[in-house]
Structure 1
Amino acid sequence: MQGVKRIFFIPPGSSARTGKHLLEDLNLVFLDKTFFDFFRERGMELYTIDAWRPESHNDKEDALAVFNHPDEGFLLRAFYYLKFAGKGRGKYSVDKKTLNVLLGAFSRKILFQAEPPIVMPWPYRHMKKLKKEYSSVFSTIHLESEGVKYFILPYNYTDRFGKNKIGEHFDAPKEKFLVMINSNARPHGYFKYELYSERLRAIKYFCDKPGFDLYGVRWDRKPFLHWSYAPYVKKVWRGSIPGDNIESKLPTLAMYKFTLLFENSTFPGYVDIKLLDPLVTGTVPVYLGAPDIANYIPKGCFIDMRDFRTYNELEKYLRAMSDTERERYRSNIRDFFRSEQAKVFTPRYFAEVVHRAVQEVF
């Protein structure tokens, strides 16, 4: 008789160090209960890797799913070691030595490379090696020509926030003009695709314009590459809102008519879930990122920053927009959330992607 298949997750970040299983803290990998129920109904159980024990390992029934293979470059590993030393956590869920043990123990291994090359360059530079190491490899950027499958990160815009949250924030009064909620960061590779510096150029332009506010983490620091922008940041920075702090982020976004939304890079297919935040709040996003964004979010739901030659042109367009025209964008957003197209961002859809991947390796 066939046993219950078990999938052990190595979640992104330092989540696995918490000692919690996925069902005890659904925010660990931004999934919800329906994701786990989906697998249980199909005879599979999901656990974080801290639940795995070598003595109970059954290679015929167990599979390993890794979210983000860590950078193996010496300089980056040394940087993260020094950065997190003594803080009880790390940049990645498991260290290289532990990951190698796990990869050796499991015959069935699936990699979901969620971070783009701008953040984690090593896996993309060594994709041929990883394709030999793993049974199947997925990425959030399009690399199908290299034999890598594509996936979209899930966004729990209903189940995660509650059924009424969309209406609550969507219909909130939009009395403020323009906001930007992005972190202050720098690229680690593939520099020609980065948009971190574009965030700074936008801040420099809008810092003296009425009605512009900046939120996000690390803007109170001065990275050595961007020290000259500190005076512009100081004028408009209103405080830290981590990207995953929905309790603060959504009510803040809901106060504004528009938001400047920069991805960290311009790779085709890379659509970060932060684009869904302003759509949930009915704040019209001014977007710059994936060049093929209209394949995932309808053009009528956002303003494409590439349509404007300068920030001055963009500002004039936003300030001249009538309430009627802005409401058209918001109506399109409502239609999007009711459409089949929105389903690719749901945990259910992601569960189907993972389930197919697991079935293929068994």
Structure 2
Amino acid sequence: MTTTDTRSADAARALFAERFGAEAAGTWSAPGRVNLIGEHTDYNDGFVLPFAIQHRTHVALGARDDGRIRVVSAFDAQVVDVALDELDALFPERRDSLPEWARYPLGVAWALLAASGTAPSSAIGVDLAFASDVPVGAGLSSSAAIEGATAVALAETWGLDLDRVALAKAGRRAENEAVGAPTGIMDQMASMLGRTDSAIFLDCRSLETQVVDLGFADAGLELVVIDTGVKHSHATGGYGERRAACERGAAALGVPALRDVTLGDLPRLADLVDDVTFRRVRHVVTENQRVLDTVRTLREQGPAAIGDLLVASHASMRDDFEISVPELDTAVESALAAGAVGARMTGGGFGGAAIALVAHDRVQTVTDAATAAFEASGFAAPTIFTVAPSPGAARDA
């Protein structure tokens, strides 16, 4: 574990002891993720290419003998206490009675019991204390990190016979139904299946995965994250509207999902839907192709050759899907002007972070350029750091 990871694990254990008055039986963790390319394709049964990062959410766990689950987070002093056999009554109908953050771990518990066919009365109660160094609201999927950490901790504690894909599915169900965010499964799969120095090429329809060597270090490249500080929420607003537009486009073409739409279908679609729906669909269809092109380029030419694909992805999200914001555009433009190989916003949009693929000796130059550009535009200073492709969810101690 990195130094930062160790601090978060220690913080989770300390919080557990403080709030629950005992030592935790163990700690588990799961990473956030960066999506290299493939945005808003996942819930359209498309292709994505994320990788897990070194920033992780840690959970300290201890067993109880009263059939209850209690959760507490370093971000919220309130202990949320629910009986395991009450989870079915809470989700999804009464989810709003819980703090939003608590719906993630409690929703995972609910989804795991259902997926494994385990009766709540036969599962032991647990106390869970969370601490994290995954930046919240930056588009790095702090939500999947808390879901993944919860899933691996509870699956081991409860002795569930569920593989990593099943754990990822439980995380997605929690996010969709317990939280109310209409997201796909990319984030959970990346957090579960992450590998050092590699990305996960995921077919979101079949859930088949391939490990793709990124080769950043060998090419002298680093991936820089420029966190704009503009917060977003997937449970409200524009995310759901974009998903609805995708569903309208698929229905107009008579296909199950936009995965089934080719570039050649776009001219026909233009006569069937309004301009906004057309542009939303065009982003997804072209983005799917860019993911396939990026995987091929990484394998045939290496990471230094994918810059134009990253830039085209950002332009599509900015112009067709309209999920960028001025701060994200400034981050991308300043990084490219300072010599980045490629750059794009990452995550669901409406805020969050941009990524830039940068030669190692230009990281400081790009950092300085982005900071200066934000100041010149009157924006709050961004938080800028590098990320490394890292392992997925696991028990730590």
> Normalization by structure 1: what TM-score?
0.28
Higher strand share: 2
